[in-house]
Structure 1
Amino acid sequence: MKQISFNQSFIKLFGLIITLFVTISGNSQAYTQQELNDSIAKQPYFSIHKDNYFITGVPTNKTIGRNTADAKYQISFKQILTRSELPWNTYLFLTYTQKAFWNIYEESFPFSDINFNPSIAVGKAFYDKDDKLKGIGTLAFEHESNGRDSIFSRSWNRLSLEYTTNIAKNTIGRFKVWVPFAYKKGNSDLLEYTGLGQINLSHIVKPDKLFFDFRFRKGLNLDFKGSVRTRIYFNPFDNNISNQYLMLEWFVGQAEGLLNYQQSQSMVRIGYVIRTNEFKWLRGK
């Protein structure tokens, strides 16, 4: 099978992004500060953080077989520590995300890599001059590792800053940068593949029915190391009270997992997802 380069794949995906994100407009039904505070007060302390999913698929850049097809799943949750008013109207919370790569088509079904990502973070909402919600910022201390030792150990720590806001009609942008530290043992060149930040765009094609998501990372050097991840969420059910979707994901690039972060991947997977609703307030009332 002919290999698909990271550069070629990115150009194709970027064209799709431009097609989807063409209508710029604000959100006329944005939450006020009091409305947001009232809504947050009614939320459970324990909730979903990132998407929770189980997907399986095949590579597009190598021969398809029992040793190259796999499954990937993710479990992610968030625990609010306090809703009481902290300095600068912030709130404190914990998150935990676990992502696993599972070779379910091989004999004995071995796990090839499991990544653990706990964090403690401070969140703050920002408002415009009319007291309408403009965006949500998060400052977090994150640790990520694969829990292994010896030459297979991979880990890094980072202080990350993320800002989430509406950038177009039905489109939410998440812009994240990080300052890494204590990461060079076992993966000294990791930043050449993960870079110092990422851009994530999520577009509502049809409310509660069809979503499109795009994430881009660029490594530090002037080459094509990095990654592009695209997702399409489709709800085939008439009622979606549980936020359940089918998800089609295409990942192209490096550092999808920590163990073999230098290895180039092009994987197409499909499966079941419980989609996060963490930034629902930015969609307006």
Structure 2
Amino acid sequence: MKQSFFTIVSFLFIVFTASEVNSQSYTKQELRDSIAKLPYFSIHKDNYFITGVPTNKTINKNTANAKYQISFKQILTRSRLPLDTYLFMTYTQRSFWNIYKESFPFSDINFNPSIALGKAFFDKNDKLKGIANLSFEHESNGRDSIFSRSWNRLSLEYTTNVAKNTIGRFKVWVPFGYKEGNPDLLEYTGLGQINLSHIIKPDKFFFDVRVRKGLNFDLKGSIRTRVYFNPFDNNISNQYLMLEWFLGQAEGMLNYKQSQSMIRIGYVIRTNEFRWLGGK
């Protein structure tokens, strides 16, 4: 995992310095007008169906699989709440599907609902600097007995531009209600994550990496890298092909201790939840 980490860092340096996009930041009023036009129901995280194979074990019908995710967001109020915040709820479901085995069984299904407050931050010139979300989240696999996995967390996430054409999402959480069924979960998920998304070519080519580090001084954690490519001339639906490499532990709740190195490819409807930070 250490060698792979340095490979990814080197690639990130090349990608993050290889493109250029000119844009202007939203003002406070422009952002409010844009939010007022949003549909109440929209995509939250990426919605995708991808399939692939492991790189750290023999490839066969038991190790190859598919993964898909459904994620949406419902705005509960557009009227400004105290501290100029707005309230919304989200739901994300991520499933691991053994489509190459007989009867096509699901090996794990993870459910992640949340309710959150969002707030935008501006500089002294009323230009958008970042967006913060304070969330109460629950995540579980919906099973019982020895197969039950669940945890709750109070999460704080801040999204902002960290470099030219690069959006960073920094998330920390205070976990609770996890010690029955998965008491050592934090050794694999840690107390937060960093997500960097870089525009290589607008509406055509993106690169994304997410890093988690477990609590202990070892290599437990995960690195998830994604490359998005739009092969279509007209992309009004935000549709892409996605290549994903997941390396580490806790990709799913059930076998969170198991080390994985999976490369998958497939179709994604990419989220544009923080498109305002890309400018006008």
TM-score of the superposed pair, with normalisation by structure 2: 0.98
Counterpart residue number, 2:59? 64
* Unmatched tracts of structure 2, length 5 or more: none
Q: Quote the Cα distance in structure 1 between the aligned partners of 2:120 and 2:81.
A: 13
Q: Quote the Cα distance in structure 2 between the aligned partners of 1:204 and 1:21.
A: 8
**Would the aligned equivalents of 2:19 and 2:200 in 1 still touch at CA under 8 Å?**
no
**Would the aligned equivalents of 1:255 and 1:261 in 2 still touch at CA under 8 Å?**
yes
Counterpart residue number, 1:254? 249
Q: CA deviation at 1:22?
A: 3.4
Counterpart residue number, 1:118? 113
* Unmatched tracts of structure 1, length 5 or more: 1-5
Counterpart residue number, 2:28? 33
Q: CA deviation at 1:124?
A: 0.1
Bigger shift: residues 58-67 or 22-31: 22-31
Q: CA deviation at 1:21?
A: 2.3
- Amino acid of the residue matched to residue 118 of structure 1? P
For residues 79-138 of structure 1, the C-alpha deviation after alignment (integer angstroms, 9 at most, x for no partner) is 000001100100000000000000000000000000000000000000000000000000
**Would the aligned equivalents of 1:23 and 1:169 in 2 still touch at CA under 8 Å?**
no
TM-score of the superposed pair, with normalisation by structure 1: 0.96
Structure-to-structure mapping, 1:1-285, within 5 angstroms? 6-22=1-17, 29-285=24-280
Q: CA deviation at 1:11?
A: 1.6
Q: Quote the Cα distance in structure 1 between the aligned partners of 2:21 and 2:179.
A: 43
Q: Quote the Cα distance in structure 1 between the aligned partners of 2:129 and 2:20.
A: 13
Q: Quote the Cα distance in structure 2 between the aligned partners of 1:216 and 1:146.
A: 22
CA-atom RMSD, angstroms?
Answer: 1.4
Q: CA deviation at 1:25?
A: 9.8
- Amino acid of the residue matched to residue 184 of structure 2? D
- Amino acid of the residue matched to residue 99 of structure 1? R
1:20 is paired with a residue of what secondary structure? helix
- Amino acid of the residue matched to residue 234 of structure 2? N
1:85 is paired with a residue of what secondary structure? strand
Number of residues paired by the alignment?
280
Q: CA deviation at 1:27?
A: 7.3
- Amino acid of the residue matched to residue 267 of structure 2? Y
Instruction: Could you list the structure 1 runs, at least 4 aligned residues long, displaced by more than 3 angstroms after superposition.
Output: 22-28
Q: CA deviation at 1:9?
A: 1.5
Q: CA deviation at 1:15?
A: 1.3
**Would the aligned equivalents of 1:101 and 1:111 in 2 still touch at CA under 8 Å?**
yes
